[in-house]
Amino acid sequence: MKVWIEQANFLLPKELLEDLKKNVPCMEQSKVVAEALRKELKSIKLEKVLKEGFGEWKKEHHPELAEGTDKYIRRIRKSSR
Protein backbone atom coordinates (compact mmCIF):
# COMPACT_ATOMS: atom_id res chain seq x y z
CA MET A 1 0.00 0.00 0.00
CA LYS A 2 1.49 3.28 -1.10
CA VAL A 3 1.30 6.24 1.25
CA TRP A 4 1.20 9.68 -0.29
CA ILE A 5 3.31 12.20 1.56
CA GLU A 6 2.90 15.96 1.43
CA GLN A 7 4.97 18.66 2.99
CA ALA A 8 3.35 20.75 5.70
CA ASN A 9 4.70 23.79 7.46
CA PHE A 10 3.95 24.22 11.17
CA LEU A 11 5.08 26.67 13.77
CA LEU A 12 6.35 24.95 16.89
CA PRO A 13 7.62 26.35 20.16
CA LYS A 14 11.39 26.83 19.89
CA GLU A 15 12.20 24.57 22.86
CA LEU A 16 10.03 21.76 21.43
CA LEU A 17 11.80 21.91 18.07
CA GLU A 18 15.21 22.01 19.77
CA ASP A 19 14.27 18.97 21.86
CA LEU A 20 13.15 17.10 18.73
CA LYS A 21 16.41 17.90 16.92
CA LYS A 22 18.48 16.96 19.97
CA ASN A 23 16.80 13.60 20.59
CA VAL A 24 15.64 12.32 17.20
CA PRO A 25 17.87 11.68 14.18
CA CYS A 26 17.17 14.03 11.28
CA MET A 27 15.82 11.30 9.00
CA GLU A 28 13.29 10.16 11.65
CA GLN A 29 11.89 13.51 12.76
CA SER A 30 8.96 13.54 10.32
CA LYS A 31 8.03 10.00 11.37
CA VAL A 32 8.05 10.98 15.07
CA VAL A 33 5.95 14.09 14.45
CA ALA A 34 3.49 12.14 12.25
CA GLU A 35 3.06 9.44 14.92
CA ALA A 36 2.54 12.03 17.66
CA LEU A 37 -0.04 13.81 15.50
CA ARG A 38 -1.81 10.50 14.76
CA LYS A 39 -2.08 9.74 18.48
CA GLU A 40 -3.34 13.23 19.32
CA LEU A 41 -5.94 13.15 16.53
CA LYS A 42 -7.16 9.75 17.74
CA SER A 43 -7.59 11.21 21.22
CA ILE A 44 -9.39 14.30 19.88
CA LYS A 45 -11.76 12.17 17.79
CA LEU A 46 -12.53 9.89 20.74
CA GLU A 47 -13.26 12.87 22.98
CA LYS A 48 -15.56 14.31 20.29
CA VAL A 49 -17.49 11.04 19.94
CA LEU A 50 -17.84 10.72 23.71
CA LYS A 51 -19.14 14.28 24.01
CA GLU A 52 -21.61 13.76 21.16
CA GLY A 53 -22.85 10.52 22.69
CA PHE A 54 -23.15 11.88 26.23
CA GLY A 55 -26.64 11.27 27.59
CA GLU A 56 -27.53 8.68 24.96
CA TRP A 57 -27.41 5.81 27.47
CA LYS A 58 -30.89 5.19 28.87
CA LYS A 59 -31.48 2.92 31.86
CA GLU A 60 -34.80 1.75 30.45
CA HIS A 61 -32.99 0.35 27.40
CA HIS A 62 -30.76 -1.80 29.62
CA PRO A 63 -32.86 -3.45 32.34
CA GLU A 64 -30.27 -6.22 32.67
CA LEU A 65 -28.01 -3.71 34.41
CA ALA A 66 -30.54 -2.65 37.06
CA GLU A 67 -28.61 -4.50 39.78
CA GLY A 68 -25.29 -3.06 38.61
CA THR A 69 -22.79 -3.91 35.91
CA ASP A 70 -20.62 -5.97 38.24
CA LYS A 71 -23.47 -8.39 39.03
CA TYR A 72 -24.42 -8.56 35.35
CA ILE A 73 -20.86 -9.41 34.31
CA ARG A 74 -20.54 -12.06 37.02
CA ARG A 75 -23.81 -13.64 35.85
CA ILE A 76 -22.62 -13.72 32.23
CA ARG A 77 -19.27 -15.22 33.18
CA LYS A 78 -20.93 -17.84 35.36
CA SER A 79 -23.32 -18.90 32.58
CA SER A 80 -20.53 -19.28 30.01
CA ARG A 81 -18.55 -21.82 32.04
pLDDT in tens, the chain (81 residues): 898 999 999 999 999 999 999 999 999 999 999 999 999 999 999 999 988 887 777 888 888 888 888 999 998 898 876
Distance of alpha carbon 49 from the chain centroid: 11
Residue 80 DSSP one-character state: T
pLDDT of residue 15: 98
pLDDT of residue 52: 86
**pTM of this structure:** 0.63
Residue 24 DSSP one-character state: S
